[in-house]
A and B are shown apart, each in its own frame.
Chain A
Amino acid sequence: MIQENCRIVDHSQLAPRYFKIVFSSDHIAKTARPGQFVNIRVSNELTPLLRRPLSIHQSDPEKGTFTLLYETIGYGTELLSKKLVGSELNILGPLGNGFEVVNDIALLVAGGMGIAPLGFLAREAIKSKKDVYCFIGAKNEGLVLCEEGLKSLGAKVTVATEDGSRGEKGLVTHSLEKFLKDFRLTIDGKRLTIYACGPRPMLKAVAAIAAQNNFECRVSMEAYLACGIGACKGCAVDTIEGYRMVCKDGPVFDAKGIKWE
């Protein structure tokens, strides 16, 4: 973990409200693990005051760069989207526990911007010779991210859009459920873990599907953060073991442990 000024080396728009930004930082690029995030000071003014957390989408230890994907949803992310290549932002990271790839089969489920941390996980899982299946859910074709990239890495990709403009029509959780029906019979003894990131209702649905099928499931949770390092107790998520901190104990949690209601 380090706090430092990082230079923007690339910044581009992927869809009306989706952006990709690349920063240079040797430390973060070398130490980041999938599922971890950085906390960015998007402005030196007093509003917005707090940093904004974004997941690490990719890191390149050789080049000393790391990439984030983000959606503009409010003041902080709007400000970020206007930052120019060459300028510097103050970044704290890498933070959080990250995903652990243990089993033979990794089944990744992304809802919207949820692809951000899962892209990094897919790459690492493939590197360590796991079978990787990706389910990408989006509102429409224009908002489907990373499909080609993941395919070229060797992941098996299923896309679901709510309006049916690409891939299967409907919610990504529906595609997942359909897929598992047959697939679970073919994995003969291999162990499988589901990793999910996206809006809370989607995570809840994925957790239920995993539980029905008796698969392990890890979810990346969100909360408002203040300190980002576990000191302020502001980012509580309710679990069966009591309140846990999204920034330090998470953002990745065992789906079984989350109190979804």
Chain B
Amino acid sequence: MGIEIAGIKMKNPVMVASGTFGFGEEYSELYDLNRLGAIVTKSVTLLPREGNPPPRIVETPAGMLNSIGLQNDGLKVFLEKHLPYLSKFTVPVIVNVAGETLDEYVDVVKALSKENRVDGIELNISCPNVKKGCMAFGIDPKLTEELVKAAKKASKKPIIVKLSPNVTDITVIAKAAEKAGADALSLINTIMGMAIDIKTKKPKLAMITGGLSGPAIKPIAVRMVWQVAQAVKVPVIGIGGIMTAEDAYEFMLAGASAVQVGTANFVDIESPLKIIEGLKKYI
């Protein structure tokens, strides 16, 4: 079950996805985090972010829309509070980084590079819920390349680039990230969606649009992983609607070396553990 991705050694190929697991504190009350392949933290930005006005989430068939807006305490609190907490565990920590500008990304990446407890960095260039930056990088191959190059220059830590599905051809972005030196690619982030309350005739989310996650997006995610795995040589991490070991194995058949579990954490706290256990049958 053990694997090594982008130089990060994991006990098993099952990580928890950014934004669905906070910084691990809440979940650590419920099980031993060391059982996971790795923890990918909530996106960390240079400065604290308040997030978007509520309502921020709404359930949809076999999925949910969210427009959290990258609410987080910022780099300083991450380094002073969240990272020391994670240091109590031995599980690999991959810090997800987001920003509005290239410099913001680079500043955070630089600071994280000095931390022993950070095993890898995942660049979130795919959040659909903020006005500036983030997904703007991930839908443009040139900006993707520039950003990944700058991050690689700023850090010796493994850099994983998290791709957006909200593009015409995901392989173009994937190749740009690989060319710039990405050590691995993770995909997919949420798919832009929208829901309207037909009684009030108003959007159900305050921000109008949000990111769709959960089982509803799995076929799209599997397809994109399959496309990207053929287009690049670096390892691919599959994300999107994984609820069971069978779902995870499906991603592996499509070319993923490992997976991340997101929305399933909300449905069943133990789903990553059940997926790890269940995968033993297949790999």
Majority SS of interface residues in chain A? loop
Does A179 have its Cβ within 8 Å of any Cβ on chain B?
no
Q: A49-B62, A227-B266, A243-B50 are in contact. Are A236 and B56 (CB under 8 A)?
A: yes
Contact B59 A234 (CB under 8 A): no
Contact A41 B268 (CB under 8 A): yes
Does B29 have its Cβ within 8 Å of any Cβ on chain A?
yes
Q: A46-B62, A243-B50 are in contact. Are A229 and B57 (CB under 8 A)?
A: no
Majority SS of interface residues in chain B? loop
Interface residues on B, range: 35 or more
Min CB distance A244 to B, Å, is: 10
Does B203 have its Cβ within 8 Å of any Cβ on chain A?
no
Contact A227 B214 (CB under 8 A): no
What is the chain B residue whose CB lies nearest that of A228?
A: B266
**Residue among A3, A224, A238, A248 facing the most chain B CB atoms (10 A cut-off):** A224
Chain A residues whose CB sits within 8 angstroms of the CB of B51 once the complex forms: 233, 236, 243
What is the chain A residue whose CB lies nearest that of B206?
A: A236
Min CB distance B83 to A, Å, is: 17
Does B133 have its Cβ within 8 Å of any Cβ on chain A?
no
Contact B21 A234 (CB under 8 A): no
| Distance, CA A92 to CA B52, complexed state (A) | 27
Chain B residues whose CB sits within 8 angstroms of the CB of A46 once the complex forms: 62, 214-215, 243
Interface residues on A, range: 20 to 34
Which B residues between 37 and 67 are near A, CB-CB below 8 angstroms?
42, 50-59, 61-64, 66
Q: A46-B243, A49-B63, A234-B57 are in contact. Are A3 and B26 (CB under 8 A)?
A: no
Min CB distance A256 to B, Å, is: 19
Min CB distance A102 to B, Å, is: 27
Contact A226 B57 (CB under 8 A): yes
Min CB distance B40 to A, Å, is: 13
Contact A242 B26 (CB under 8 A): no
Min CB distance B39 to A, Å, is: 11
**Residue among A50, A226, A229, A235 facing the most chain B CB atoms (10 A cut-off):** A226
Contact A232 B22 (CB under 8 A): yes
Contact B26 A229 (CB under 8 A): yes
What is the chain B residue whose CB lies nearest that of A231?
A: B22
Would you list the 4 A-B pairs with minimal beta carbon distance, nearest first?
A231-B22, A234-B57, A46-B62, A229-B26
**Interface on A for B, CB 8 Å cutoff?**
1-3, 41, 46-51, 90, 92, 223-238, 242-243, 248
